Amino acid sequence: MGYWIAAILAAAGFFLLLRAYGAERNLRSAARQLREVMGGSGGSRLRLEAPNPAAEALMDQINILLELRAADEAAYRAREQALRRQIANVSHDLRTPLTSILGYLQLLEGDNLSEADRREYLAVVAGRAKALQSLITSFYDLSRLEGGEYPLSLERVEPGKLLSGLLASFYGDFEGAGFQVEVSLEDGAAILADPGGVTRVYTNLIRNALDHGRSTLSVRLYQEGDRVVTAFSNGCTGLTEEDIPHVFDRFYTADQTRTGHNTGLGLAIVRALAGQMGGEASAALEGDRFTIRVSWKRAL
């Protein structure tokens, strides 16, 4: 009897010794793997050297933390790359009108310059300076919008009346660009929004059509359930379905190198400004026509 008790105790002791050795082996292996993962020379997950339920549960939690760390690092790298692209785009857009302004200022220093040429060069400088001012203002406004620092006061607004006056003010621009404008505005539609904010949204959409569209512009205002929709549709070239998900991204312009236009801030402001007033902006490409719809909350 004593022999069996001694044998059982010896076997139990040996089993505990094996478990202790296995646990220590797992810990040493986990520490080594963790150093490799943190140092970038290993994989992305820790694995056990020997089976152990408790160690496996701990390892699962560590692996979850490592996956979260990897996701955070990937997101940080993506944000850093996006920021670098934005800085490069801003630098390009600022440098282009500045270079032109400096070039024409040098021409204005010429002694043999006629009065007609002087007036022409001054007009070019003034135009480039206004474009530069508009770009800086747009960038500042977008930063304020994204930071929640853009003042908005929601009230009852009749977008049809606002649009009628705004489109009339752009009559000369449409004529100069050779645009045919079709307008259909439903009477009596009212929205809950900031009047100045709505004006800015519509102005940016008109400017976008003039800068990047061609031939025709269709502006429609209609009610759809508890929403009021404004749709701007214009002819376009060089725009593809792949561009549509990005048209509201800041600094995005399709085929920027060929068109020569500044990178986009106008549509980014449209989306941010409409969103802060409870509206939604969406874009679609239907054949050769590009359409932007802004859906507003209907005022009761």
Domain with residue 125: its CATH number is: 1.10.287.130
Helix (H) or strand (E) holding 18: helix 2-39
Specify whether 175 is located in the same domain as 282. yes
Is there a single domain that holds both residue 220 and residue 234? yes
Query: Are residues 48 and 84 located together in one domain of the fold?
Result: no
| Domain final residue, candidates 20, 41, 74 | 74
Final residue in a domain of this structure, among 21, 44, 74: 74
Out of 105, 127, 146, a domain closes at 146
- Residues 71 and 240: their CA atoms lie apart, in Å, by 31
Q: In angstroms, rounded to a whole number, what is the distance separating the alpha carbons of residues 138 and 267?
A: 10
DSSP per-residue letters across 53-115: HHHHHHHHHHHHHHHHHHHHHHHHHHHHHHHHHHHHHHHHHHHHHHHHHHHHHHHHT-TT--H
Both 142 and 243 in one domain: the answer is no
Domain range holding 124?
A: 75-146
Q: Same domain, yes or no, for 291 and 168? A: yes
Secondary structure class of 180 (helix, strand, coil) = strand
CB 177 within 8 A of CB 171: no
In this structure, what are the phi and psi dihedrals at residue 172, rounded to the nearest 5 degrees?
Answer: -65, -40
∠ at Cα 138 (134, 139), nearest 5°?
120
Judge if 191 and 277 occupy the same domain.
yes
How many domains is the chain partitioned into structurally? Answer: 3
Co-location of 257 and 134 in the same domain: no
For the chain, 300 residues long, give each residue's pLDDT as a single digit of tens.
Answer: 444 344 444 434 433 344 544 555 655 665 666 666 665 555 666 565 555 566 666 666 666 776 777 788 888 888 777 667 767 767 767 777 788 888 888 888 888 888 888 888 888 888 888 878 777 887 778 778 777 778 888 999 999 999 999 999 988 888 888 889 999 999 888 999 999 899 999 998 998 888 888 888 999 999 998 899 999 999 887 778 888 888 888 766 554 433 444 456 788 889 989 999 999 999 998 888 899 999 999 987
CATH code of the domain in which 206 resides: 3.30.565.10
Residues 11 and 96 in one domain: no
**196 and 217 in one domain?**
yes
- Do 181 and 191 fall into the same domain? yes
